[in-house]
Structure formats: C-alpha cells, structure tokens
Amino acid sequence: QRPRDGAAGDLAALAELDEAALLGSLRERFLRQQVYTDVGDILIAMNPFQRLPLYGREVSERYRRHEQGTLPPHIFAVADRAYHAMLDPHAAGPRSQCIVI
C-alpha cells in the first residue's frame, strides 16, 4: 500500500512536486518527528530542537549496506551511499564524492 503523499520518505515519488506539496509534506513529517526526508538523491534535514534517538550505534548499524528505500531517510544512509560509491569496484577507480551540508 502506497503511503499518503505527506508520509512519503522520498518526495520525488509524489504525484505532484510543487512548492505547496513539498512544504506540506515536510511539515507533516516534522510533526511526526521524521526530521530527514529524501528528494531523490538529496536529503533534507530539519532541526527538531530536541533530542531524538537517531544517532546511536544500533541506528548506524541498521543503515550499513542497506538497500535504498528499505529504511526511512537518514544522514547515515547518505554517508553509506557516498562511501560505497567512492569505493565502487565497477568504476574505473575511486570516485570523488561531495556532500553539501
């Protein structure tokens, strides 16, 4: 079952991606304490202004070598994809990566 548009972890999957849909979805996710949202390969992070259990070793291990789209968006997923793309043995050599924060 497809989640409601605002519940989508990847906003690139929305039927319509305009400013109103993007902001509405981000607001809905923020209110549910889902502070990370993907838009394709871009990760949007919103400051929750409170401590959330998002960064422990257990969370880090879950995002290690996971298949994209199987877990909620997270900064650990971005780091894992960048690291493995950099070391991709199928590429002509190591590929530089850039992460803008």
Give yes or no for a contact between 35 and 45, defined as CB atoms under 8 angstroms apart: yes
Comparing 98 with 79, which gets the higher pLDDT? 79
Q: What is the pLDDT of residues 50-59, one digit of tens each?
A: 888 899 999 9
Using a cut of 0.95, tell me whether the model's pTM lies above it: no
Residue 82 confidence (pLDDT): 84
Average pLDDT, stretch 19-37? 93
Q: Please state, in angstroms and rounded to a whole number, the distance separating the CA atoms of residues 44 and 76.
A: 13
Q: How many CB atoms lie within 10 A of CB 73?
A: 24
Q: Please state, in angstroms and rounded to a whole number, the distance separating the CA atoms of residues 44 and 73.
A: 9
Comparing 90 with 32, which gets the higher pLDDT? 32
Average pLDDT, stretch 18-25? 91
Q: Does the pLDDT value for residue 3 go beyond 70?
A: no
Residue 91 confidence (pLDDT): 67
2 confidence band (pLDDT: 50, 70, 90): very low
